[in-house]
Structure 1
């Protein structure tokens, strides 16, 4: 999700994430120093959709619809064994990435007015940001340190709705992935 230093965040903005709690021991210290989003309350995560609807537009019908869309997807395991990067950014790459992409696509299809990252990118790459806004030497140092703590395997069973309150990101709701196949009529 966007960081507080970007100047673009406003109270009421929301995002949908998959928390990767299992990665916290490996990434927490790096993220607290080098990822502005960590300093404003965003846990280790893979972004599913940011920005999502403004908080004022999220009502009980939206919660129900989110539950239905997310509930069509089965829980899965993701392995984070290698690093990747964008300019100035170091991240962990989830394997497989397809389940994250399917979640993003399903939510963006249901709410087409909320394209991932505002439609800035042709291809949205699932990732867990560890450091951003850093020069290559810092990112190389972080990657070297991370390699000793990888791989990390995470169980993905929910998507969380986060809301920016003007100062910090706050968790508002969690939507479980389907535990078992839907019964047939």
Structure 2
């Protein structure tokens, strides 16, 4: 799910410290990676994804808390439950596809700022971004992106159409 509101705050850090940003991947929170091979994305699969996401309401999210995985700095969304619900819905339909291939157990929702860096570099990146927080966004759709062997490209956007959810906090 792209988070365009984050780009002015985190774009410079991501461009320097996240190799995916340098290939044009915007600030985002991943629902499920890896997903199905692009050759399996037929009309039936796309319709099933649309049905899956249609049952979820749009929601507001706030990013102001940093988190870390080994060598990776991220922003944690609050609340994270709607993100987790989207991941759970997709994995319930395609149980053979585990988040990050099942490598990490809990696939906590996150917006990556920097990866493959030392703690000192992550500390500096955190300090650079801190004053621009919080970032607030409205998540109203989920984008399917595919890798064409060279770059990631947008394939389809699926609107979230469940019962309307108001702001999750007074922001």
- Measured against the shorter chain, the TM-score band is over 0.9
Query: Please, which of 66, 80, 90 is the counterpart of residue 63 of structure 2?
Result: 80
TM-score by length of 2: 0.93
In the alignment, structure 1 segments of 5+ residues that lack a partner are: 1-17
| Corresponding position of 2:92 | 109
5 Å-filtered alignment, 1:35-50, equals: 35-50=18-33
Q: Are the counterparts in 2 of residues 46 and 127 from structure 1 also a CA contact under 8 Å?
A: yes
TM-score by length of 1: 0.86
Unmatched segments (≥5 aa) in structure 2? 165-171
1:179 Cα deviation (Å)? 5.5
Structure 1 contact 40–167 (Cα < 8 Å) conserved: no
Cα distance in 1 for partners of 2:5, 2:124 equals 22
User: For 1:139 and 1:87, how far apart are their aligned partners in 2?
Assistant: 10
Tell me the equivalent position of 2:13: 30
Aligned ranges 1:158-169 → 2 under 5 Å: 158-169=141-152
Q: Which 4+ stretches in 1 moved above 3 angstroms?
A: none
Say what the alpha-carbon RMSD is for the aligned residues.
1.0
Q: Tell me how far apart the structure 2 counterparts of residues 32 and 167 of structure 1 sit (CA, whole Å).
A: 18
Task: From 69, 72, 90, give the equivalent of 1:89.
Answer: 72
Q: 8 Å contact 1:80–1:94 — kept in the other structure?
A: yes
Count of matched residue positions in the alignment of Structure 1 and Structure 2: 164
Q: Distance in 2 between matches of 1:136 and 1:85?
A: 10
